[in-house]
Structure 1
């Protein structure tokens, strides 16, 4: 019926007033018919509609509720605030009171929202691939538990990741007391075994170290990406960029990086040197010999390395007590121990490097622990194996052959978020509760503890590791909250516990729980690093975590798979990184598939030739090539774990070309500026000679009519001196603004949808530049839109009216910054899980419309409404965009340009401020501060 009325409507002419009234009557009839069709002609809903009977505490319809909790990754925590809309967690923000986040997060933490709502998470208890339930599992394990009571738990083994949770540690200790013959093993593929061994070698005991970059004037990093990876990276970035401004007359901090593979730390460095790991260890030994912490090595350095060593020794001598030497990556325990001794010799301990008692509940070598477990399995000593939130069938070193060993265990129980590779080999699989669905606690690298509180009921009935261990300990049914409270009653006492507990939940951090400083014994002369093995036809290979997906546990997360690698720009893939001279010697080019041969087996993967990579070695990213990650992560990249040796350290691999080629999906095709001044940079000396070296030339005149912004005038400033290129802003924007994932093939076609991208340029050693919409005052996109879909609002924001857009793409063609995104296909999913996690304040765009950054207009509107209710204007800092909130480096500032005292105006007053493509006179509201490098004259 409505279609017939619409046909009649189209036949009515529009040249007479009476006809116009007739058209109005037709529209009324059509609206009435549509209403009748929806109300009277439809039957009952296909699914039952349930009332909202369990509203979140203190919730007001339409108003979000924020919960303070902690996220756990690789055993360590970070404090966050989770935004709930009517009981649905939709966004993660950093907790400003937490020492591991300081209000910021990383890309992986942002993507945990997508993981929470992943419909491919495990939802059922499985037995040998068949659907079962928890009751059947209890019945199957009951005879075994009865036998443990008699034999003290003989044959029982527990395998976990890194444990810093006081509650989990107490439960494991309770289990081992209850069953003294049982054994607890640990496995984390990224665990720093070398760092633990280095502390034992240098000080005779396990010691953790808290980096304090803000207190250091000179930092030397030997293959340690302390800004880009690790549980303390967000805090390190925040401290590193604090005061790192050439405008500050006290500016003196200088960062040197010596590394094999380019990293975020290396690109942020004032000086970077690419060396193979064995050559880095030799350099460390020679510097250590100069400071008399080790013997003199037999090898000598070549010219370039010798110049670097002379510069580093001089810098460290001049900054005793205010320097920091960091080691990591592929360096062995001996080199790492020498680095610790250097810090002690220079007087850095307790100043820039704080020693504390180990934060881990049981500091041990995970490689040795796994080797011991496999040995017990092979001898038949293991009858029951509980694996809690680990995936060793996938990520254990290939030399261990863990999958074959697991099949020999009579009863294996796997607890995991997904039915992954290990779950498919295990006898039993239990779906795990997500980090946001259960109670727990966790410590951060400085020892500070935080409570993990649920922000939503378990979506798929998952169980926490605490509830599973409670059953093993004979405490089945004890709630997770009660277990955590019991732990903290023991640690804090009963006096005033209720007030303490309420404060811990509200603040998200437990005051006074940080580890105290410890004193270390005197050092003796340390041994030298061993000489590398002779391997004529093999190259040393360094294994590292995937660019965004970690060790592979986040492989089924589309946000992270589609986030370009900050080093290579590759999405939806990993690659063997190799230097250009080494590639030429092997006859290789980027995309060529090679066969990597190790001691146990060979793996094929594509090569990426990187000009910043060290020669004579390889870098192989882990975490890809998953077989049971889910539809998103399966088959993405190649699996490099089979190549890892038992020790988990570097390996020597042969490289054989296969003659085949692989096509990567790389959004940014050109990484050189080709003489254009896009991401501008200079040196401290240049700045002091001419503070305005990066400023734009004055331009006058415009054909556009001018508009007076009487209320607010929004603008943004981005500091390239602070940005480290981590990409967290892209993922935060994606979560906030319901930006879809397009997939590898669409990325290859140039159709990636990120509203803010991070361009990377190799000029001058490397520099990153976040690029959102510039919100040009004289916007080229507005003049060419035939339907007025893109225009300025009364506060100067270049808005996109989605229901006007007809998809001509004229605006994108006319945009010199290429920041507008077109929905070529229906990228946004209509699934229930996707709808549940989406921000209800942001429209989900349809196919065929243009979209782009709008300065988080929904956040501006929300803050304005709150201010209007209080009868006052918005204050500076009350509006924080998603990219600004997430940035660990505080590189993004947003605010009102009409407020002379606003932070954004102070940033734009910097002599380093400039406009991207300012010569076009588009007058963008977003501007940049040029990067300034504090170069060493001896290495210039």
Structure 2
């Protein structure tokens, strides 16, 4: 059997010596540069040509399958593109309520996770390779004991579970073994929401929001447009009334938060406060609305409380208050009460029964499990798709506790920290390799169907739970059997029609949770911390989440929305705190919990504008020790400071300087526009006085005469419009473009040299308005200039205009002079300085889009407006002998955008959406005074500030 070996990505005779070359080779081009072989070869089978082509399979034409991407137990409806049996791209399912045709960065990167060669490929017993047969033999002996004693000593630990089939399986298992127990733990789970629900309603319910009905939104440390259940439909619903196309900017967002979030960036008014002060503000708002509670606060908090109370009272039934995980259960309960008192329940907010099962605080559940282990009550522990050795609260010392369990089994995509500590590790199938089901944020169920046969020796959660029960039914029969039984109980006689419809649409009919109107109770007063204590806030990283995607090269290299950091996390502090501590960006500090010297880490500091004072925000998901060859040893492990008493969000912290420095890899060095109007913006009042302020500037600055000759496009003339009012800076467009166009990963060292390869970047700027700092995001692809300065300087004609106005790059002509990049004022052209694309690892080659050329070293590349999609749609139209219709060509960035901020189409079609977008008075060109005549234009940003807060 072959052992794993490192595959060099640059030929060994390459003459250039680079610092950190081994690390560069290690992370190049995706998840890892590793080739690995299973213990046995492929199954023996006869390969013969097709006599009859399988239905819907056309060579060269992709096929799309409706399924669901599962993350933290929740289902996100997706359409997976398959090219001759190879999943290569994910699109949102327009029929699914959690996606509405869009996705987030994690769903886009799930394709790379599927093909990751670092995924677990075989069974391990301790450190030795084993087989499924050997495991099943040992399991049979354990199961015999469970049969005798009713499952005494058996414990099962999972993450969040919404799969109806899996819930039914585990419930049946517990009935069979009544002395067993099922525990749940998800890192950074919002346990306080569960506690607040119990206080407010006496049972566990979850809120559903109607942002399309809300005129005033008040967010108390809740990033509802970021990493939040339902964030995609929530962002889209709210932004539909704030786009340049609608020209209705009457709604307003007040964001009070500790750390800058995507919701805060959207906000018309934003206030940075520590968590305790945010809670005081909530209670002062309640007092102004007639709810007795906390006494007076600071003058600033009191001013905001009065303004918010007046706005909420004025917009009764059309307002919405949302609260995040840093707030106490008592304050979260108060928010439920305020929404009810304001008449919002039933209008802008409703409630459904808990989607997860079992619905209980996760920290309580895993703490009870560890207590049972220490009390010698646990003999068999089954860990299903969870990694508590890495992410459990540090004071539980879960790794040590696990070593005391005689028989422990870990099922996971990777042989991670828990997989290495368990007695047995079993490889798990990816959600695109197995049959399953799952519920979305609103309770809607989806059938998860495989797009490809398992690449390795993995099995699904359903199949392993079946093994625990001594059975061996397939995942397909289990899932289909559950839904057939359910439809029978509902009186549906035509199950086959239901099943086929669910597979085609990705949504199970009539499976959503019913909306309920509930009356909350009055909460007790919370106990707040001293306002002078340095507080830590633990959050999921914007790109790698809670750590599950730490081995994903696309996400590691994806710039974080506010810091623009790649390949790192940092301790985020505000400027006043940095000044008081005498630290600056890049300084390494020691962080430790008061009175617990064993709980300490060292972390580099990033001074972040908009961060609340006396608060250190720690992004989790890093410091992995067994993530894989990409994620191992990247960043610091914030979980090492987490304790069960911290309620998995906030805790006190001590900080001291170490005297050392750390170098970050960032993709944007300028936070301001240096006096240029790259982002044009105005307040709502100024816009109403002069709706054409952006167009007037455009007309003044664009020269009428050009040295370039004019050209007429008789057939198609492609263009793009990007609405800065709708862009929330989520980076989904960047990662979708990377997946669609085979864009390689370059690694931290190359990013530090400015050699990142993303074809579309999302710039972040800070602007000043009424003495307040505001954040604006601006996606920047190739402008496809009509008068392109890059074309005139290319000595070999590698960059030219085509007959439809696209600025195309002819790769086999390019000789790498980089003159075009030097002459591009937008800096959107990318050069392969080295052999960035990994062509050695077979599984990574399988993830590439066959419709897009894989570029080699020495070639310039850039955005093509997804030329392959234009060509595919044109060919289909020509078969029908008709021209392309508006909307038949959708670029990757346009398709993925949650808020529909990007519109693409034919400028020769007067009725196209892109022409309607460009007809807005807010439409403008970037750097118009250079007379490049960009095909990509922007809609200026409009803010709706509250004059009472000026």
Q: TM-score, normalised by structure 2?
A: 0.92
Which of the residues 696, 699, 708 maps onto 1:697? 699
Deviates more, 1:867-876 or 1:250-259: 250-259
Does residue 369 (structure 1) correspond to residue 365 (structure 2)? The answer is yes
For 2:99, the equivalent position in structure 1 comes to 101
State how 1:423-462 maps to structure 2 within 5 Å.
423-462=419-458
Please give the alpha-carbon distance, in whole angstroms, between the structure 1 residues aligned to 2:909 and 2:247. Answer: 27
Does residue 753 (structure 1) correspond to residue 757 (structure 2)? The answer is yes
Instruction: For residue 249 of structure 1, report the CA deviation from its aligned partner.
Output: 6.6
For 1:472, the equivalent position in structure 2 comes to 468
For 1:577, the equivalent position in structure 2 comes to 572
For 2:811, the equivalent position in structure 1 comes to 802
Please give the alpha-carbon distance, in whole angstroms, between the structure 1 residues aligned to 2:262 and 2:417. Answer: 31
Aligned 8 A contact 1:225 1:329 in 2: no
For 2:782, the equivalent position in structure 1 comes to 773
Please give the alpha-carbon distance, in whole angstroms, between the structure 1 residues aligned to 2:358 and 2:49. Answer: 45
For 2:329, the equivalent position in structure 1 comes to 333
Does residue 317 (structure 1) correspond to residue 313 (structure 2)? The answer is yes
Which of the residues 142, 145, 154 maps onto 1:144? 142
Deviates more, 1:901-910 or 1:307-316: 307-316
Please give the alpha-carbon distance, in whole angstroms, between the structure 2 residues aligned to 1:817 and 1:251. Answer: 30
Please give the alpha-carbon distance, in whole angstroms, between the structure 1 residues aligned to 2:54 and 2:194. Answer: 44
CA 1:317–1:274: 2 relative to 1, 3 Å: same
Please give the alpha-carbon distance, in whole angstroms, between the structure 2 residues aligned to 1:819 and 1:504. Answer: 42
For 1:649, the equivalent position in structure 2 comes to 649
Please give the alpha-carbon distance, in whole angstroms, between the structure 1 residues aligned to 2:174 and 2:322. Answer: 37
For 1:782, the equivalent position in structure 2 comes to 791
State how 1:248-267 maps to structure 2 within 5 Å.
248=246, 251-267=249-265
Please give the alpha-carbon distance, in whole angstroms, between the structure 1 residues aligned to 2:906 and 2:629. Answer: 44
For 2:934, the equivalent position in structure 1 comes to 924
Please give the alpha-carbon distance, in whole angstroms, between the structure 2 residues aligned to 1:525 and 1:625. Answer: 42
Aligned 8 A contact 2:64 2:79 in 1: yes
For 1:396, the equivalent position in structure 2 comes to 392
Please give the alpha-carbon distance, in whole angstroms, between the structure 2 residues aligned to 1:525 and 1:760. Answer: 42
Which of the residues 159, 162, 180 maps onto 1:161? 159
Q: Which runs of 5+ in 2 are unaligned?
A: 1-43, 769-773
CA 1:910–1:351: 2 relative to 1, 3 Å: same
Aligned 8 A contact 1:262 1:612 in 2: yes
Q: Deviations over 1:590-645 (max 9, x none)?
A: 01000000134110000101121000111111000101001111111100101011
Instruction: For residue 565 of structure 1, report the CA deviation from its aligned partner.
Output: 0.4
Partner SS for 1:694: helix
Instruction: For residue 252 of structure 1, report the CA deviation from its aligned partner.
Output: 2.0
Instruction: For residue 147 of structure 1, report the CA deviation from its aligned partner.
Output: 1.2
Deviates more, 1:633-642 or 1:487-496: 487-496
Please give the alpha-carbon distance, in whole angstroms, between the structure 2 residues aligned to 1:934 and 1:664. Answer: 35
Q: Deviations over 1:426-478 (max 9, x none)?
A: 000000000100000000111100000000000002100000001112321x1
Deviates more, 1:369-378 or 1:692-701: 692-701
Q: TM-score, normalised by structure 1?
A: 0.93
Please give the alpha-carbon distance, in whole angstroms, between the structure 2 residues aligned to 1:789 and 1:246. Answer: 37
For 2:23, the equivalent position in structure 1 comes to none
Please give the alpha-carbon distance, in whole angstroms, between the structure 2 residues aligned to 1:57 and 1:345. Answer: 57
For 2:522, the equivalent position in structure 1 comes to 525
Larger radius of gyration: 1
State how 1:381-420 maps to structure 2 within 5 Å.
381-420=377-416
Does residue 706 (structure 1) correspond to residue 710 (structure 2)? The answer is yes
For 1:23, the equivalent position in structure 2 comes to none
Please give the alpha-carbon distance, in whole angstroms, between the structure 1 residues aligned to 2:244 and 2:553. Answer: 39
Deviates more, 1:866-875 or 1:600-609: 600-609
Does residue 129 (structure 1) correspond to residue 138 (structure 2)? The answer is no
Instruction: For residue 649 of structure 1, report the CA deviation from its aligned partner.
Output: 3.0
Instruction: For residue 180 of structure 1, report the CA deviation from its aligned partner.
Output: 0.2
For 1:225, the equivalent position in structure 2 comes to 223
Partner SS for 1:67: strand
State how 1:496-511 maps to structure 2 within 5 Å.
496-511=494-509
Instruction: For residue 262 of structure 1, report the CA deviation from its aligned partner.
Output: 0.3
RMSD of aligned alpha carbons: 1.5
Does residue 487 (structure 1) correspond to residue 489 (structure 2)? The answer is no
State how 1:59-70 maps to structure 2 within 5 Å.
59-70=57-68
For 2:719, the equivalent position in structure 1 comes to 715
State how 1:343-362 maps to structure 2 within 5 Å.
343-362=339-358
Q: Which runs of 5+ in 1 are unaligned?
A: 1-46
Please give the alpha-carbon distance, in whole angstroms, between the structure 1 residues aligned to 2:211 and 2:221. Answer: 16
Partner SS for 1:90: strand
Partner SS for 2:566: coil
Does residue 297 (structure 1) correspond to residue 301 (structure 2)? The answer is no
Aligned 8 A contact 2:217 2:252 in 1: yes
For 2:922, the equivalent position in structure 1 comes to 912
Aligned 8 A contact 1:575 1:605 in 2: yes
Partner SS for 1:762: strand
For 2:873, the equivalent position in structure 1 comes to 863
Partner SS for 1:657: strand
Aligned 8 A contact 1:166 1:361 in 2: no
CA 1:524–1:498: 2 relative to 1, 3 Å: closer
Does residue 76 (structure 1) correspond to residue 86 (structure 2)? The answer is no
Please give the alpha-carbon distance, in whole angstroms, between the structure 1 residues aligned to 2:517 and 2:725. Answer: 36
Aligned 8 A contact 2:258 2:273 in 1: yes
Q: Deviations over 1:339-365 (max 9, x none)?
A: 111101101111111111111121100
Q: Deviations over 1:470-505 (max 9, x none)?
A: 1112321x1111111111122211610001000000
For 2:513, the equivalent position in structure 1 comes to 515
Please give the alpha-carbon distance, in whole angstroms, between the structure 1 residues aligned to 2:53 and 2:650. Answer: 52
Higher RCO (C-alpha 8 Å, min separation 6): 2
Instruction: For residue 244 of structure 1, report the CA deviation from its aligned partner.
Output: 1.3
Instruction: For residue 920 of structure 1, report the CA deviation from its aligned partner.
Output: 0.6
Partner SS for 1:470: helix
Please give the alpha-carbon distance, in whole angstroms, between the structure 1 residues aligned to 2:633 and 2:478. Answer: 40
